[in-house]
Each structure stands twice: as structure tokens, then as C-alpha cells.
Amino acid sequence: MTAKLILGKEVSESIYADLRVRIAALKNRGIEPTIALIAVGDDPASKVYLRTKNRKCEELGIRAVNYTYPSSASEEEVLGRIMKLNDDRSVHGILVQLPLPPGFEERYVLDSISPDKDIDCFHPVNVGHMFIGDPHFLPATAGGIQQMLIHCGIETSGKHVVIVGRSNIVGKPMAAILMQNRDYANSTVTVLHSRSECLREMTRSADILICAVGKPNFITADMVKEGAVVIDVGTNRVPDPSSPKGTKLVGDVDFDAVKEKASYITPVPGGVGPMTVCMLMANTVKAAEGQWR
């Protein structure tokens, strides 16, 4: 068996097609979906992510407003900007690019964003809505993974989903989404982490295995059940003498070996990555629609 690839670009394009229709409908009503992007400092990876988000906004017809601050900026200055954006009815989504420089209280900054404009779904109010099965927004990466499963027609009801990693960004929200009593969920979910015993035995029992630990090639073929669906969220840069840059991106899964056992698998790069930006765009459009009902 060689696994079928789940490609984020393919899945995201189907979602973008729907978003373009909804964006046009909003503009016909005089509403221009708008996202405010806040960046502090000079983190190179953050600059790349911001360029990607701005480019996608331009392609879709979403207005992006950028606020860039030097590392020397104070937390109070950034919070002041967020407060103004919270009150600005022309802005529908607010995103603070992480990581923030030393001296910033990340949780405090994120919690200052209005839940109605929290397109990252980091605010406790939105996290609570997600856990009770009444989401306003879904976290971008976790929500994107669910869309990948839906797009490929992968059954989740009654299936054993094993999630390796318990972060607030992927592991915990992924578990909350798939355990709900609703369509495209209804899974039996196990969350594994650094203190979990019998990790190998648990991953081998998974119908759907989702890995987000940030360790290159952590999941090996002997940890995967024959025919399992494998979702690799990891993005790790490792040495590669054959590459002009001297490095390459790999996931948390030993792709070459695992693809011979899995039924479906996401590659790195090209798998989950494109879905994160896609779902941020979807959340922005949803915010624009919701605030004007």
C-alpha cells in the first residue's frame, strides 16, 4: 500500500472558491472584510508568515492593515493599538504575529483582543465556545486539519484518533473538535504527550494519527497501524548537504517509510501548512459576516 497524499493547496483552493463568493456578497453590501496584522520585532520567520498572509489577502480581496513595531516597543503601546482596533467597526479580524519579543506577556496581549475579532481563536471565550461544541471560530491549524479530513471523505465517527502533542495551538483544540457530538467528529480521542506511557502501543491503535511535537521523523513506520490516516503537523528544519541552503523541511513523521503503511498521509511541506492561512482567511470572512447581522 502507498498512501494517497492529502495536499493542503488542493483542499484550500476549494475553500477559497467559496470564500470568494462570500467576499463578493459582503462587498455588494458595502462591507470590505478587513484584517489587522500586528507584528513586533524582527523575527525572520514572522516576516515570511506575514508576507504570505498579506499576499493571500490581496488575492482574495480582503483588506489587510499592517502595524509593525520595533522590538523596543512597549507592551502598553501594542495594547493601545489593539484597544483601538477592537473599537473599529471597519476591522473584522485582529492577528498578533507570534512570537513576541522578551518583556511581553503573550497571554495578556492575546486576551486583550475582542473575542469577536479573535480569528486565531486564542481568547478564553472562544476556546470555551469550542469546547462546548458551539464555536464562533476554530483555531486555524486544527480547523484546517478537520477540513482536510472532510475534503477527502475520511470517516471520523467512531474512529480512534490519536493526537501526539498537547499544545494549545494544535493538540488540545484538535481533541476538542473531534470529540464533539456532530458531523465530521464523533471520534474517540486519545492525547499523548511527553509523559505518556506505552506511546508506541497507543499510536499503533490509531485509525487517524495526528502528530504535532516538533521532533523530526518522530513517528516511525512501526508506530503506525496498516491503513491508518496520518496527519503530520510538524515543520522541522534539518541539515541537507544536497540543498543550496544546506537544510530542508521535514515533518514529525518518517514520511518515506510511513507512506508505505498509511492509507492517507500529509507531506511536509505541502500538507497542513497551507491550511493555516486558509482558515485564518475563512475566520476573517466569518467575522465580517457575523458582526453585521
Which of the residues are catalytic?
A: 53, 97, 120
Cβ-proximal residues to 229 (8 Å cutoff; 6+ apart), any chain: 149, 154, 207, 208, 209, 262, 263, 264, 265
CB 4 within 8 A of CB 264: yes
How far apart are alpha carbons 123 and 105 in whole angstroms?
A: 14
Residue showing cell 522590538: 71
H helix or E strand, kind and range, residue 83: helix 75-87
How far apart are alpha carbons 18 and 47 in whole angstroms?
A: 28
Residue 206's alpha-carbon distances to 126, 209, 256, 259, in angstroms, are: 29, 6, 19, 15
H helix or E strand, kind and range, residue 249: strand 247-250
CB 230 within 8 A of CB 266: yes
Q: What are phi and psi of 245, to 5 degrees?
A: -85, -10
Mind giving me the DSSP string for 207-248?
A: SEEEE-S--TT-B-GGGS-TT-EEEE---EEEE-TTSTTSEE
How far apart are alpha carbons 204 and 224 in whole angstroms?
A: 5
The C-alpha cell of 166 is what? 498537547
